[in-house]
């Protein structure tokens, strides 16, 4: 899923602080887009490689954010 498309969808359907759950998160693009929109994100995937890729993607994204 392209991140710019996910940003547009999330801007229209959610508010900061709301929750995003993706039960088929794949590489985690939806989680990254949700974090950028200040959402509380959760996801899972049956494939361990996808799960690990998503964890890395989210960790890399969070490293670039100042708290």
- 0.85 surpassed by pTM: yes
| Tens-digit pLDDT profile for residues 9-67 | 999 999 999 999 999 999 999 999 999 999 999 999 999 999 999 999 999 999 988 76
1/7: higher pLDDT: 7
> Is 45 in contact with 55 (CB distance < 8 Å)?
no
């Amino acid at each position: 899923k392209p991140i710019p498309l996910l940003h547009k969808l999330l801007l229209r359907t959610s508010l900061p602080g709301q929750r995003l759950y993706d039960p088929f998160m794949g590489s985690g693009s939806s989680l990254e887009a949700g974090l950028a929109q200040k959402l509380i994100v959760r996801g899972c995937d049956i494939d361990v490689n996808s799960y690990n890729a998503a964890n890395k993607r989210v960790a890399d994204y969070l490293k670039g954010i100042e708290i």
